[in-house]
């Protein structure tokens, strides 16, 4: 199997961590989704990472679908063990933070052409995305009060991916809320290979 990724995408990272945690053996190919890489276009008509090329030539796309395929294909260790609803609910809130962060960057590029130009963030849509990041992070922190940090599950994975991505894309942002439980979770897993080897980088 081969997973097409780039080094920044929180979606690609989510799929990659799920596959690693499930113990799959797979190659990684780094592609630029914004440059119409032919391998990526062939695997995903939407030209987005991640895309997982199966050994039989079929391609899976959408990070959570890749995660659910992996869960069904190899049930143990489960990423939904214990309270499945709690893990799924947490993953949903965390994915909302991921989406809001990515949309903010895409909004910046659409309006100014520059990823780091923050003018879009003050626009009404940018403010909505900012609010989604703040309230999502706060909600995740609350939800962690009721969930043990081990064993790892899908909700915990996407939560760490979301927090890392917000810090990566908005360094030193003064609007990031205090999320001590989330920070502690991130620290717990920071040295684990599936997280350490996939930390976002330019």
Binding residues (CB under 6 A) for ligand GSH: these are 9, 11, 33-34, 47-50, 62-63, 102
By beta-carbon proximity to ligand GSH, the closer residue of 35 and 178 is: 35
> Can you tell me whether residue 3 is helix, strand or coil?
strand
CA pair distance 73, 64, nearest whole angstrom: 14
Cβ proximity to ligand GSH: between 11 and 189 the closer is 11
Closest contact distance (angstroms) between CB of 104 and ligand GSH is 12
C-alpha to C-alpha distances, 51 to 25, 39, 40, nearest whole angstrom? 15, 10, 7
The distance of closest approach from Cβ of residue 97 to ligand GSH in the complex, given in angstroms and rounded to an integer, is: 13
In this structure, the chain runs to a length of 202
State the minimum distance, in angstroms, from the CB of residue 52 to ligand GSH.
10
Per-residue buried b or exposed e for 68-83, using 16+ beta carbons within 10 Å of the residue's own CB: bbbbeeeeeebbbeee
Residue 69 C-beta: closest distance to ligand GSH, Å: 12
Q: Which of 49/179 has CB closer to ligand GSH?
A: 49
Separation of alpha carbons 25 and 119, rounded Å: 43
Nearer of residues 115 and 196 to ligand GSH, judged by Cβ: 115
Query: From CA 167, how far away is CA 154, in angstroms rounded?
Result: 20
């Amino acid at each position: 199997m081969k997973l097409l990724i780039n080094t920044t995408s929180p979606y690609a990272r989510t799929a990659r961590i799920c596959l690693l945690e499930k113990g799959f053996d797979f190659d990684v190919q780094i592609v630029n989704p914004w440059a119409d890489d032919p391998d990526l276009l062939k695997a995903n008509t939407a030209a987005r990472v991640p895309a997982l090329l199966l050994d039989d030539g079929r391609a899976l796309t959408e990070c959570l679908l890749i995660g659910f395929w992996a869960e069904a294909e190899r049930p143990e260790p489960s990423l939904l063990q214990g309270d499945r609803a709690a893990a799924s609910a947490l993953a949903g809130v965390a994915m909302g933070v991921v989406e809001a962060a990515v949309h903010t960057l895409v909004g910046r590029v659409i309006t100014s052409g520059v990823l780091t130009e923050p003018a879009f963030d003050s626009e009404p849509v940018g403010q909505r995305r900012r609010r989604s990041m703040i309230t999502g992070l706060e909600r995740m922190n609350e939800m962690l009060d009721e969930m043990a940090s081990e064993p790892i599950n899908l909700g915990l994975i996407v939560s760490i991916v979301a927090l890392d991505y917000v810090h990566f894309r908005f360094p030193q942002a003064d609007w990031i809320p205090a999320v001590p439980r989330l920070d502690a979770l991130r620290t717990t897993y920071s040295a684990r290979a599936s997280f350490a080897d996939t930390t976002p980088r330019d």
